[in-house]
Chain A
Amino acid sequence: MTDFIDAFRTALGLIVTLDPDLVEILVLSIKVSLSAVVIASLLGFAIGGALAVYRFPGRGAVSAVLSALMGLPPVVAGLVVYLLFSNVGPLGVLQLLYTPTAMIIAQVVLVTPIIGALTRQACQDLLEEYDEQLRSLGASSSAIVGTLLWDGRYRLITAVLAGFGRAIAEVGAVMIVGGNIDHVTRTMTTAIALETSKGNIALALALGIVLLTIALAVNASLIWVQRLANRLAYA
C-alpha cells in the first residue's frame, strides 16, 4: 500500500513538474489522435451526409457495414493497416510502419466509421423533417447534404468528440503499427502498457491520470454541447 502511495506521489510530481518524458508522450498522443480525428471527420461527414441523401444500389448495405464498423476492435484496425504497410504489403514501399503517420492512418480507420455512422444518423433524422421543404425550395442533392451537415452541427460536434475519445484511449491500433518506440511512437496508452509491465508504476499512473482527465473533459464538453443545442432548440 505504501508503495502505491509513493507511486501516486511520484506520479503527481511528474505531472506538476511537467516531466519532459511525460510531456513528450502526451504531445505525441494528442497530435496523432487530433490529426486522425480531423481527417476522419472530413471523411465521415462526406460519407455520412452522402449516405443520408443519395439513393444508390447497395446504400443500405454500406450503411449497415459502416454502423457495424463502429465496434471495430482497435487491434483489428491496427492489423489491417499493418498488413497494408508491412514490407510485403501493397503499400510497403512507403516505409510508413512504426511512424506517427502509420498511427494516424490506423486511428483514421478506427474513427471514420464512428463519425460517419453518427453523421448519417443525424442527417437522416433531419432529412425526414426537411425533405419536402428543401425540395420545394429547389435544392440540389449536394445542397441538401450541405444544409443537413450545417443544421446537424451540434450532433456532428458530439460525433467528433466521441471519435476523439475513442482515438485517444485506444491502445491496440497504435501499438501494432507504431511499435511503442521511445521518443518516436510512444503514446500515453502504449506507454502505460509498457511501464506497467516494467514495474514503473509512477509514470504509468501519471499518464493514466492525464488520460482520465482528458476523457472527463471530452465528456463534459459533450454534455455542454448537448445543453447548448437544446437551449437554442437546435437539437
Chain B
Amino acid sequence: MLDPTSPLQGVSDRLASPPLPVEIKGLVYETGGKRVIDDVDATIESRRITAIMGPNGAGKSILLRLMHGLIAPTQGEILWAGRPADRPMVYRQAMVFQRPVLLRRSVAANVSHALGLRGVGRDKRAICVDEALKLAGLERQASMPARVLSGGEQQRLCLARALSLDPDVLFLDEPTSSLDPASTLAIERLLLDAQRRGIKVILVTHDVGQARRLAHDVMFLHHGRVIEHQESQDFFDNPQSEGARAFLSGGLVL
C-alpha cells in the first residue's frame, strides 16, 4: 500500500525544489473587528515537515488559509522564494481540510475531477487516478460513491487526491483530528512518504504526539502571534514560552 518505490506519475516533472523559503512578513488578518492573525513574521525554509501548533482559536487554520491563498490578508505579505503567489504557484500547492470534502461522485471521479480542474489531460488522468488510489490503498473502492466510505477512508482519499496533483507544497489542517489510531497511522505514513519524495508538508495539528512523530520544526501560535518557531526536538524538550510549556504539559492554555 505504501510502496515508496512507486512514486506518483509526474513526480519527475517536479521542479528541482519546492518554492522555498516561505517568508511571512507583517501578516495581519482581521475579521469581524477581531485581529485573528496579529503581525506574524516567520520564515519556513526546509523541505521538511513543519507543524503549526497552538490552542483553539490561536489562528492556526487562518494562517494556513492565508498561506494557501484561500483568504487575503488585511496587511502584510507572503513570499514564495521571494515572490508573491501567482496562479502557477497556487497550482504547485494542495490542501487537505479537517473535514473531508468529497464530491458526490465515485472515489475515482473525485481524483479525476481534481486533476481535470488543474488542466491534466484525460489520458494522463486515468494513470494518475490509478496510482493515487493505489498509494492510498483504495483501488478496490474506486467505483464506489466516495461519500459512503468510512471517515478514515474519506480522509485518505482526500490526501490521495491532493497528492495526485503532484504538489510541491502540501497543507493539512488537522487531517486526523476525528480519526481512529489506525487511520491516523495510515495518513501519517503517507505524509512521511510524501516528504521523502520532496514535498514540503505544512501541517496544523493539535496532537502533540503527531507533531513529535512527524514534524522537523514547530511553529507555536497563541492569540494570533507566533510565540515560538524552532526545531521540533528543541521545542518539545525545551519550550521557551509559558504558553508552549503549558500546552505541552497538557495544561489548559487560555
Residues of A whose CB lies within 8 Å of any CB of B are 129-130, 132-139, 143, 147, 150-154, 232-234
* Interface size bracket, B side: 20 to 34
In the complex the two chains form, what is the Cα distance from A136 to B147 in whole Å? 20
B24 at the interface (CB under 8 A from A): no
In the complex the two chains form, what is the Cα distance from A22 to B189 in whole Å? 69
B113 at the interface (CB under 8 A from A): yes
20 A-B pairs besides A132-B65, A136-B95, A138-B117 with CB distance below 8 A are A129-B101, A132-B70, A132-B101, A133-B101, A136-B70, A137-B94, A137-B117, A137-B165, A138-B87, A138-B118, A139-B117, A147-B113, A147-B117, A150-B105, A151-B105, A232-B147, A232-B148, A233-B104, A234-B104, A234-B145
B90 at the interface (CB under 8 A from A): yes
Q: Mark B86-125, 1 if CB is under 8 A from A, else 0.
A: 0100110111010001011100000001100110000000
Closest to B173 in A: A132
In the complex the two chains form, what is the Cα distance from A133 to B95 in whole Å? 8
B47 at the interface (CB under 8 A from A): no
A151-B103 contact, Cβ under 8 Å, with A232-B145, A233-B145: yes
Closest to B165 in A: A137
Closest to B149 in A: A233
Residue numbers in B under 8 Å from A153 (CB-CB): 104
Partner pick for A137 among B104, B105, B114, B145, CB 8 A cutoff: B114
B156 at the interface (CB under 8 A from A): no
Residue numbers in B under 8 Å from A152 (CB-CB): 104
Question: Count of A-B contacts with CB under 8 A?
Answer: 51
> Nearest Cβ distance between residue A134 and chain B, in whole angstroms?
7
In the complex the two chains form, what is the Cα distance from A139 to B93 in whole Å? 13
The dominant DSSP class at the B interface is mixed
The dominant DSSP class at the A interface is helix
Closest to A229 in B: B104
Residue numbers in A under 8 Å from B147 (CB-CB): 232-234
Residue numbers in B under 8 Å from A139 (CB-CB): 117
Closest to A143 in B: B117
> Nearest Cβ distance between residue B229 and chain A, in whole angstroms?
25
In the complex the two chains form, what is the Cα distance from A192 to B105 in whole Å? 45
B103 touches A147 (CB 8 A): yes
Residues of B whose CB lies within 8 Å of any CB of A are 65, 68, 70, 87, 90-91, 93-95, 97, 101, 103-105, 113-114, 117-118, 145, 147-148, 165
A–B complex contacts, Cβ < 8 Å, 28 sampled: A129-B101, A132-B95, A132-B97, A133-B95, A133-B97, A133-B101, A136-B68, A136-B94, A136-B95, A137-B114, A137-B165, A138-B87, A138-B90, A138-B91, A138-B117, A138-B118, A139-B117, A143-B117, A147-B103, A147-B113, A151-B103, A152-B104, A154-B104, A233-B104, A233-B147, A233-B148, A234-B104, A234-B147
A151-B104 contact, Cβ under 8 Å, with A138-B90, A233-B147: yes
Q: Which 7 A-B pairs have the closest CB atoms?
A: A233-B147, A133-B101, A234-B104, A151-B104, A136-B95, A232-B145, A137-B117
Residue numbers in B under 8 Å from A147 (CB-CB): 103, 113, 117
In the complex the two chains form, what is the Cα distance from A119 to B114 in whole Å? 23
In the complex the two chains form, what is the Cα distance from A135 to B70 in whole Å? 7
In the complex the two chains form, what is the Cα distance from A141 to B208 in whole Å? 39
A137 touches B70 (CB 8 A): no
In the complex the two chains form, what is the Cα distance from A127 to B68 in whole Å? 19
Residue numbers in A under 8 Å from B148 (CB-CB): 232-233
> Nearest Cβ distance between residue A172 and chain B, in whole angstroms?
37
Closest to A151 in B: B104
B101 touches A130 (CB 8 A): yes
In the complex the two chains form, what is the Cα distance from A143 to B145 in whole Å? 21
In the complex the two chains form, what is the Cα distance from A134 to B118 in whole Å? 11
In the complex the two chains form, what is the Cα distance from A154 to B70 in whole Å? 29
Residue numbers in A under 8 Å from B103 (CB-CB): 130, 147, 151
Closest to B87 in A: A138
Residue numbers in B under 8 Å from A143 (CB-CB): 117
